[in-house]
Structure 1
Amino acid sequence: MSGFDSNPFAGPVDVNPFQDASVTEATSRAGETIGDFNPFSATGTGMGNYSGTTIPISGAPSQPAVLQTSVEQSAKATAAAAQADLIKQQEELERKAAELDRKEQELKNRDASRVPNSGAKENNWPPLPKFFPVNPCFYQDFEEEIPDDFRGICKRIYYLWMFHSATLFLNVLACLAYFTADSQNGVDFGLSILWFILFTPVSFICWYRPVYKAFRSDSSFSFFFFFFVFFFQVAVYIIQSVGIPKWGNSGWISSISMIGTNLAVAVVMMVVAGFFTVNAVLAIILLKMVHAKYRNTGASFTKAQQEFSQGVLTNRTFQNTAASAASSAAQGAFGRNQGN
């Protein structure tokens, strides 16, 4: 009944839990054990007579970390799929590009069938009207194609050709008057028509266009061709200005012979003879000027030979002709061998 005799309203009694006998004994043992424990001793005692047996480390060599096979295969599969997708896209782009090229070529062919020579410059010489049945045959533009240093002399040669053509036309009229004054001079009138029809286009093609090409592209071959042909043209001018009878030219000899017969006809023929003389003088002057320009361009006979060789060898007609000739010769030789 002692528990019931205690006063519950009395002040609390200070109780020290460490004064308990069991707690005191345990703390004293722990202090002794910690003091005698040596962690580096193989047989030392401590922590309740703990045996110092060491735990052996695994003797197996360390291995590097290796990805699992499933992760590696997944990465390879992803890269292969991406590469296949890129190849597919590239093939699709190439197919579309080929389709666009085909359509573009079809449009070009269609335009070429509608407009002849659509890829080249449109010919503008001679300047014929649109309704004329004959189209221009050449392209000519001094400002675009001829350099500034050669433009002036090239135009002068063009003006010489125009003066040459006008002189030939006037020669026809003078020879007509010569024929009307004396019916025995019909040969001169007929030949004058032939010279006008023949020499007008031939002179344009044989000496004007070569010098135009020479100044346009600095071609040695065109320069030499011009010099060769134009030298003979100067000689023809001199012959025409002389006016040998029965040669179809209203020159000085023919015109002087008509003074006593018909003065008016003689005057007309003298004017034409003067035009032929002017043609000869201008041709000599321009020939010297072109030769001076030619010396400054660096052209030479060796370059002319090279240009001629390259032009002949690359010419499609020449190649076809040479191939046909070689084939015919081979067939002939084969036939002769079989006959023998």
Structure 2
Amino acid sequence: MSAQNQNPFEHAEYSSNPFEDSHQIQADVPLTEHAGKAEVGQEYTSYTQYGDSQSSVYQTSTPANPADDPKLAAKAAELRRREEELAAREHDIRAAQAEADRIRTQGKNNFPKFYPLIYMSIPAEIPKAHQSTVRFLYNIWLALLGTLGLNFLACMLMLISGIPNGAADMGVALGYCFTITAASFLLWYRPVYNAFMKEMSMYYYFYFIFNGFHILFSFYMALGFPSTGSAGLINMIQVFNGHHIFTGILCVFSTALWFVQGCGCLFFYRKVHQHYHQQGHTFDQAKAQVTSSAVRNQAVQNAAWSAATSGRV
């Protein structure tokens, strides 16, 4: 009977309550009682010891002050020098790249070669379909320079040979070498260059007007009226009548070059005029572009004048 009334939970195997939290029990036990065991107290202690050992390792591995070590100071100075060299080299590369970008977008002055004032490049600025035309016109302009030089030399020899009005011819021919050179480039070659580059009616009309005058001037010079600065046909006859053979030969070349100049310009004048009509340019477009350019230039001049007067005040 007593054995039946015996509590089965009083068995030694069940001496403790299985529903109690063992972690709570361990937490309630003082850390000193877990000495020598792999319990919470020991884990905390080992962690603190590990942290102390790590801090000691970091303290021992901290480098010394470079100023105290000559070798470290020399290495630091060498690194600083290399950094400065790299920075200077990078600055030079950036400056060169900026200059290259500026030249690519704006162009570097390359004409005339002995004193560059403007940028001019037929392969870079003129469409490929019209490069041959513009190049021929440029060669005609170069031939004009040679014609002016030969004409001046022939007039100078006419003066030496005693031809009447030789002094007047030589003086006018010398003036042509400067005035016609500049005027022909600015008034008809550069406009036709810009016309093919920008396809603007305004530049075509400038070319038609001034190159038309140049064609008439070339044939006029080929005739060679006395005292006009020309070693053309009439003056050539006078030279041969005076039996000045060498001077006469130069006058023959001068006369031929003036005729070639006029005929060449006339041929390309017609060719440019055909292209002008094919592109659909009109005189009204040219007037509008001239007016717009004049207004824009006037606005720029007014702004410059305002800036100058405000600076004075």
TM-score by length of 2: 0.62
SS at match of 2:158: helix
Q: CA RMSD in A?
A: 2.7
Partner in structure 1 of residue 282 of structure 2: 300
1:6-29 superposed Cα distances (whole Å, 9 cap, x missing partner): xx9xxxxxxxxxxxxxxxxxxxxx
Q: State the AA in 1 paired with 2:219.
A: I
Partner in structure 2 of residue 223 of structure 1: 204
1:244 aligns with 2:230: no
Q: Per-residue deviation at 1:322?
A: 12
Q: Which of 122, 129, 135 lines up with 2:108 in the alignment?
A: 122
TM-score by length of 1: 0.57
Q: Per-residue deviation at 1:293?
A: 1.1
Partner in structure 2 of residue 163 of structure 1: 143
- Asked if structure 2 preserves the Cα contact closer than 8 Å seen for 1:313 and 1:319, the reply is no
Partner in structure 2 of residue 257 of structure 1: 238
1:174 aligns with 2:160: no
SS at match of 2:110: coil
- Asked if structure 1 preserves the Cα contact closer than 8 Å seen for 2:150 and 2:250, the reply is no
1:277-307 superposed Cα distances (whole Å, 9 cap, x missing partner): 1101111101001111111122111111111
Q: Which of 172, 182, 195 lines up with 2:176 in the alignment?
A: 195
Q: Which of 252, 256, 260 lines up with 1:278 in the alignment?
A: 260
Q: Where do 5+ consecutive residues of structure 2 fail to align?
A: 2-90, 307-313
Q: Which of 119, 122, 125 lines up with 1:145 in the alignment?
A: 125
Show structure 1 runs of 4+ deviating over 3 A: 117-120, 316-319, 321-324
Q: State the AA in 1 paired with 2:141.
A: W
Higher relative contact order (CA 8 A, sep 6+): 2
Query: 1:66-77 alignment to 2 at 5 Å?
Result: none
Q: State the AA in 1 paired with 2:204.
A: F
Q: Per-residue deviation at 1:188?
A: 0.5
SS at match of 2:240: coil
Q: Per-residue deviation at 1:317?
A: 6.1
SS at match of 2:106: coil
Q: Per-residue deviation at 1:315?
A: 1.4
- Asked if structure 1 preserves the Cα contact closer than 8 Å seen for 2:163 and 2:239, the reply is no
Partner in structure 2 of residue 35 of structure 1: none
1:1-56 superposed Cα distances (whole Å, 9 cap, x missing partner): xxxxxxx9xxxxxxxxxxxxxxxxxxxxxxxxxxxxxxxxxxxxxxxxxxxxxxxx
Q: Per-residue deviation at 1:150?
A: 1.3
Q: Where do 5+ consecutive residues of structure 1 fail to align?
A: 1-7, 9-106, 129-133, 325-340
Q: State the AA in 2 paired with 1:172.
A: F
Bigger mean CA offset, 183-192 vs 277-286: 183-192
Higher gyration radius (CA): 1
State the number of aligned residues. Answer: 210
Distance in 1 between the 2:126 and 2:197 partners?
5
Q: State the AA in 2 paired with 1:247.
A: T
